[in-house]
Amino acid sequence: MMLTKPEERSRVERGLECYVRAVSAQLGLPPTAAVTEVADTAGAYIPLARRSARFPDEDLMLAWNDREGWFVGLDADPGHTPRVIGYLGGPDPLPKPSVVRAFVDDLVAGHWSGPVSPPPHEMTEDVLAARLGSYLG
């Protein structure tokens, strides 16, 4: 999705920051751990403080974008694409933070059997802004 409306872009930026802070809090991480970016698309990155049972020697990251929703990957060096090890999937690209936490908990414990390819999410700019706007408090 292209974010083209300035008023919606601002609402997406602020709402995404609040939403991702809520996800970070559910994971027991400080709000400063998360990075969000809104350009042509919207995205977020949270380095995880835990390791996966499947990849005990690798750092993990949790990421979100408006096309694929939430996923966990093996953290890569800047400029490199992370290896995705699981997508949250489901019909909602913006699930409650507690749902994201449960996804991370299951994946880290080695119990995740969800999708390994990105689920397609189609959300208009207006809907994304409205959904994220609900986190503005």
- 55 belongs to a structural domain: yes
- 1 belongs to a structural domain: no
- 39 belongs to a structural domain: yes
- 59 belongs to a structural domain: yes
Instruction: Please say whether the beta carbons of 24 and 46 come within 8 A.
Output: yes
- 123 belongs to a structural domain: yes
Distance, in Å, from the CA atom of 45 to the CA atom of 136, rounded to the nearest integer, reads 19
- 72 belongs to a structural domain: yes
How would residue 74 be classed by pLDDT, with cut points 50, 70 and 90?
very high
- 109 belongs to a structural domain: yes
Q: Model-level pTM? A: 0.90
Using one digit for the tens of pLDDT, what is the confidence trace for 77-129? Answer: 777 788 899 999 888 889 999 999 999 999 999 888 877 788 877 788 888 88
pLDDT of residue 2: 60
How would residue 132 be classed by pLDDT, with cut points 50, 70 and 90?
very high
Using one digit for the tens of pLDDT, what is the confidence trace for 26-59? Answer: 999 998 999 999 987 889 999 998 998 888 999 9
Query: Which residue range is the domain that position 113 belongs to?
Result: 6-133
Through-space distance between the first and last CA atoms of the chain, rounded to whole angstroms:
25
Instruction: Please say whether the beta carbons of 87 and 114 come within 8 A.
Output: yes
- 90 belongs to a structural domain: yes
> Domain tally for the chain?
1
